[in-house]
Amino acid sequence: MQLIVGLGNPEEKYIGTRHNIGFYFIDKIKEGFSAQGGPATGWEFNKKFNAEISKGKINEKEVLLVKPMTFMNLSGEAIREILSFYKLSPKDVLVIHDDLDIIIGKYKVTEDSRSAGHNGVQNIIDNLGTQEFKRIRIGVGEEKNGVLSCRLDAHDFVLGKFSEEEWKKIQSLEKNVLEEIKNLV
């Protein structure tokens, strides 16, 4: 079984923010694979895990799509509970999250890497006791004159909404990210 987790914050006011890009992509994965006979169950809230879950198959492999409802910085709690219940290992986990160190419109796939200051990812590492899980890091960083801009107001920036131009860049990633998921499962 593969666990694919999108990171975000559960309240409506966070919809469309940079920090909720993991929720956005997990919804797109569910839509994309449902259209292809993949995960087809609706989102169901599981109180034990404090997460919304959708079940199905990708490449004939059983998959759980997960949106932790713990808020971003406590995401590891839900993931730890799910891994324990299903007797899975961290190597069965793929996390999708925002990354300020990547220019918007780009993404990177990593495995066994540090949190790089991302509190949600750090909480997962702390709860699992390892960084040995896969991640799709979706770029939300600003580009100025062809260079990644350093943000001193990172907290406020990631909780801000995307501009129309930024959304177009994010949406242009959908097809490639869905293909990456197929390859990683």
Query: Catalytic site residues?
Result: 19
Alpha-carbon distance of 117 to 101, in angstroms, equals 10
Alpha-carbon distance of 179 to 183, in angstroms, equals 6
**Contact residues for 10 (Cβ-Cβ < 8 A; gap 6+):** 67, 69, 71
Q: Would residue 50 be called left, alpha or beta, if left means φ above 0 and alpha means ψ between -120 and 50 degrees?
A: left
Alpha-carbon distance of 72 to 153, in angstroms, equals 18
Backbone dihedral angles phi then psi of residue 160, each to the nearest 5 degrees = -85, 160
Alpha-carbon distance of 4 to 167, in angstroms, equals 23
What tokens were used for 44? 């169901």
Alpha-carbon distance of 39 to 37, in angstroms, equals 7
Alpha-carbon distance of 41 to 139, in angstroms, equals 29
